[in-house]
Structure formats: structure tokens, C-alpha cells
Structure 1
Amino acid sequence: MKRTTLNHTVTVKIKTLCTVALLAATAMTPASALLAKPAAVVADAASQQQTACACFNVEVIGEGPAVILIPGVASSGDVWQSTVEALQADYQLHILTLAGFGGVKPIPMQNWGEGYLALQQQAILGYINKQQLDKPVVIGHSLGGYLALALAAGAPEQIGGAINVDGLPALGALFSQNSAPPENVTTDSDSKPAQRGGFDPMAMARSMASDPGWQQRIASDMTRSDGPTSGRVMGELMRADLRPQLAAIRVPVLTLGALQHGAPYSTPEQVQANYEQQLAKAPAAYHRFAFARNSKHFIMADAPDWLNQQIRQYLTEHHQG
């Protein structure tokens, strides 16, 4: 799908595939080598439909330079609605909902290979190659922000840049230096958040956004997501540590941080310091910060105009196609 063939009033839905065979073939391959060979992900899937599963669903809206939008754990691509409205006249937007989240069928865990994070990185690179996207900018929230940072560090030849919306390269390290993981977050791969005792989707949603309508939207996405996938992916994020790889970034990266996170933080200043410490290895020539002081985790809920202004400014400076 080439961007010149789409009008901004058209929406196209796509399923991108990953395969058991590909995972078996790449399970012992170094990450750097995997990042260098994205074409196999989709091409191999096309020839082995019987063993394939969807890594994510995609909606394509608009025309112009390509931008990929990735939501977080237990979120759908709908969280990007205001950003889509702000950008669709000037950019071709590829809006992902990752497998297992927001009503998209989960990937069987035995097919995850090295893990969900690595699998999704490869599927996104395969999608870029298959759709012949010309160095798209990758914008991600939370888990999506982690993936955006990983692609900026590992695949600078294939993406034009990244915007990390309230994601961290080493989530577990943050909590280990402050306190226990936040309430209601599970790392148990067998847990089912909407069904296990003590988990309240609305309580979690209220901790991540101030607007009541957005709280309901976030909670709805959680209940439509696969509990075991959500729990196991959170476990992966708690163990993951991208910090050593950040020094390899050679494309422009913008990190947008939300400063009203609450426990285990005490002040917005401490939250900002945590961001700056975690991303200290990203070269200053390629990376900068901006912070939403009065926003919780879902900046698109609490500060949508600010978020979209930051994104549009970045794209104007770095992604004119």
C-alpha cells in the first residue's frame, strides 16, 4: 500500500501477520541481525497462512509522509483519535492495535519466541518494508513508546524518527528504586485482570487520566483486552532494559513525559528527574524532552492540544517527506 494511492478520507483495515516458522528460525539470532532483515516477517507469513497469527491490526487514514501510531498495554488505536484528527489532512497515519489488546485476537503465547516485545518490533519493521513506507516516524504511548525507542535505537535505516509518549526504557528499574510496582499492575502470565480479585479497571483508569469519559474509554479497552497477554507483557516491560541501546540512536527522538503519576513519585520534579535519568544515554544531538506538568499517563486525555502541538511541531521540523 503506497501512500500516494490513498485519499485522506479513506480508511483501510489491514492485518499484519507473524508466523511460528519465522520465530523458530530467528529464536537464536542476535537482535541486531533481526533488525537488519525485516522483509522476512511478512513475506514468510504470506506463504504459511496455516501457522500464522495477526501481530496487530492497522487502520490507514490520510495521505502524505507516513506516521505509525502505537498504543500501549490493553489499549486500542482509538486512543489516538484526536491526533488522527489533527494530522490526517497532511500525513498518512498507520494506526495500530496490538494483538491481545482492545479486542484484537491474542497471539498464542507459545508463538512469542523471544518475547512479545521483540516479536512486535520485527512485525512493525516487516510492515514498513511490505508497505514500502519511506522512513516513517513512529509515535508510541507507554508500551508503544518503548517500541518507538527500541526501533529508533535498532533500526535507524528504516524509520525517520520517533516520538515516545510517556514510555520508559527500563520500567522495572524505576520501580525498584522507588517502591513496589503500582497497584493493580500484574506480572503474572496466568492472571486475567478483568476477572482476578482486587483488579478494578475503573480505579486504574482514574489513576491514568482525569477526564471521566476517558476513564471509561480506558477501562473499556482493558476489559476488551486479553488478560494473560496484558499480564505477561507487563512482566516483559518490567524486566526489559533499553538503556544500554539508547546510545545508538541516530534519528530525531522526542520524549513527552507526563508529570502527574503519583506513587511511587512525590513531586512532578522527581518524575521529570526519573525520565532524564532513564534516557541519559540517548545522544543530546538526537533526543529532547518536553513535559506535560498537569497530565497523568494518558497525555492524549489530559492535554490533547499540547500533545498534538508537540507532535505537529516535531513532524514539521523532521518529517516533510
Structure 2
Amino acid sequence: MKTLLLVVAVFAMMFPSFGRTAEFNSSLISVTTRGSGPDLVLIHGLASSSKVWSGIEDHLNTAHRLHFIDINGFAGNKASDARSESYLLAMRDEVVRYMETQGLDEPTLLGHSMGGLVSLLVGSASPESIGRIVVVDSLPFHGLMLDPNATAEKMKPIAEQIEQKILKMNESQFEAQAKRSAAMLTKSDDKAELLLEWSRASDRDVYAQVMREVMAYDGREEIADIECPVTVIYAFDEEMPLSEERLHQFYQDAYAQVDDLGLVQVDDSFHFVMWDQPQAFYARLNEVLD
């Protein structure tokens, strides 16, 4: 599971034809929209950018109105001066508020990594508002990656140590760690370099805090409140320490509280499935959306 142990990424390209929403203002997230059709809300991962979904329109069989969420503090998006006590819960609340403000009708949530966890939290908090959730290589409790018997209480001091280690690194140490992590998250050298750029452009305090929160937050009971179908698209590679059978069971156990669950494996991929195996990833996504 080494591709799941760290979640890093940051910096950005621009789509000049994107339109910023005029009716929604937030100090935590910004949203760009494009296209028309059923609503698809896309949430990126830790220290990442909405540009991780670059080119998605070319891969979808059916046109959608795409809502690309960027989280301030990551990928060169300036962090808010007002820090949240819990970024995860604040992100959840802002996504819910955005959907309500825009009047979205049972949108599909598509979240990668941390964004997958946020999508699950949104689905738990506002179950009647969501049509479907698609989670990409993520869990309701990331502490399970370190210990299959983990609890939030057991993970809290470990997550705090990780946070402090990140904050105490000097620039060269952080750069070296980010470079090692990037190589574990994607098979593409070019994309690994992009992840490194994104890491450099992230606010260190926000990055460290959200890393702590993601590692310690146990949402396994909350996801029982989700009423819509949940599909988990996860990566498998021969370099991983778990066999296909054990990895499938790992996800099955983690999502045991979800009533309508689909698990979809993509082979020969690390954490950024949409980059490592785009054809397979979008084929699976289209099967879910169509």
C-alpha cells in the first residue's frame, strides 16, 4: 500500500475558458465551472489542485456541468488568514454550502485521496442532496494504512508527530521528502515533477494540519448515513505489499458501513490512477456515470 502512505501534490495550469461562479464566495475554497449537463463536483487531494482533472471533458461519454473545487492553501492558492480548527469539516461544510447556493440537483461527487474523504463526509452530512459518490484511491479512515486495527484514539499521537515532523523540516529536507513521495504516487516522471512543484507551492502549515487530520479522522461510522451509491476506484500494482484479494478485502472492510458499494480495481497504477492509467480509469468512471 505504499502508494497510499503519503498524499502529496501542487502548482497549476489554467483553462482560460473556465468561468468563476459569481454567486459563491468562500475563504476556504474556490470553484470554477465548465460545460452543461448533470452536475459533477470534483475535489482534489492533499496539496493538490483541480488541474489533476485536466482534460476530463475529453474522456467523458456524457457531457456534464463540471464544478472544479480548489482548496486554498494548496497548489499556489493562497491560504486564508483565518485558520480552521478542522479543515476537513470546514471543507465538508463549504462544499455543502456551495451545492445549496448553486441549487445543484443530486450531483455526483468525484474525489481523489483527501478529496475522496471529503466527498464521503459531504455524503454523510447531506445524504438527501447527493446522487452518487465516486472515490478515487481513498478511505474513510486513512489510519488503516498504518495499522489495520487502528482507532482514532491510537492514531491521534502518531498523526500529531507527523504534523510536527513536517513543520520542523527545513526547505531542503521538505524538498527531499516531497520528491521521494512523488515517486511513490505516480509512475510518470513528468507527473512526479508536477507533484513536486505543487508541494513547493503549498502552505506548509495548512499541509501539515490537513495531513494530521486526514490520518486521524475515522469516518467509518459516519458513512453509514450515506444514502446514494458509492463507487471506489482503487489502484493495484505488483509492487504493493498486498495481493489483489487482500487489497479488495481491505477496501471491503473499510467501507463495510456503506449499503450500496461498488469496488473497482485499476491495475498497474499508483495513487494517481487518472494519470497512470487514464484509459482504464475513465472507462471505469464512464461505466459509473452513464
TM over 0.5: yes
User: Which stretch of structure 1 is more off in the superposition, 84-93 or 148-157?
Assistant: 84-93
Aligned 8 A contact 1:193 1:227 in 2: no
The percentage of aligned residue pairs carrying the same residue is 25
Residue of structure 1 in register with 2:253 after alignment: 277
Give the C-alpha shift of residue 259 in structure 1. Answer: 1.8
User: Residues 193, 130 of structure 1: CA spacing in aligned structure 2 closer, same or farther, 3 A cutoff?
Assistant: farther
Deviations 1:117-139 (A, max 9, x none): 00001100111111111111110
Count of residues in Structure 1 that have an aligned counterpart in Structure 2: 267
Give the distance between the partners of 1:226 and 1:261, measured in 2 at CA.
34
Describe the shift of the 1:167–1:78 C-alpha distance in structure 2 as closer, same or farther (beyond 3 A): same
Aligned mates of 2:140, 2:132 — CA distance in 1: 16
Q: Taking CA–CA contacts closer than 8 Å with sequence separation of 6 or more, which of the two structures ends up with the larger relative contact order?
A: 2
Q: CA RMSD in A?
A: 2.9
Q: What secondary structure is seen at the aligned counterpart in 1 of 2:128?
A: coil
After superposition, where does 1:22-37 map in structure 2 within 5 Å? none
**1:187 paired residue number:** 163
- 2:109 matched residue in structure 1: 138
CA distance in 2, matches of 1:306, 1:105: 34
Moved over 4 A (4+): none
**Distance in structure 1 (CA, Å) of the matches to 2:65 and 2:165:** 36
Tell me the TM-score normalized by structure 1.
0.75
- Counterpart residue type for residue 275 of structure 2: A
The structure with the largest alpha-carbon Rg is 1
Report the counterpart of residue 6 of structure 1 in structure 2.
none
SS of the equivalent of 2:103 reads coil
- Is the Cα–Cα contact under 8 Å of residues 61 and 94 in structure 1 kept in the other structure? yes
CA distance in 2, matches of 1:63, 1:193: 45
Q: Which string of whole-angstrom CA distances, capped at 9 and with x for unpartnered residues, describes residues 239-267 of structure 1?
A: 1011112222210111111123957x343
Deviation at 1:175, TM superposition (A): 0.8
Aligned letter for 2:148? Q
Answering whether residue 280 of structure 2 is matched by residue 302 of structure 1, we say no
Counterpart in the other structure of 2:183? 206
Which ranges in structure 1 are unaligned for 5 or more consecutive residues?
Answer: 1-8, 19-53, 317-321
Displacement of 1:193: 6.5
Q: Distance in 1 between matches of 2:199 and 2:229?
A: 32
- Counterpart of 2:99 in structure 1 is 128
- SS of aligned partner of 1:297: coil
Q: Is the 8 A contact 2:128 2:227 kept in 1?
A: no
**What is the letter of the counterpart of residue 287 of structure 1?**
L
Q: Which runs of 5+ in 2 are unaligned?
A: 1-15
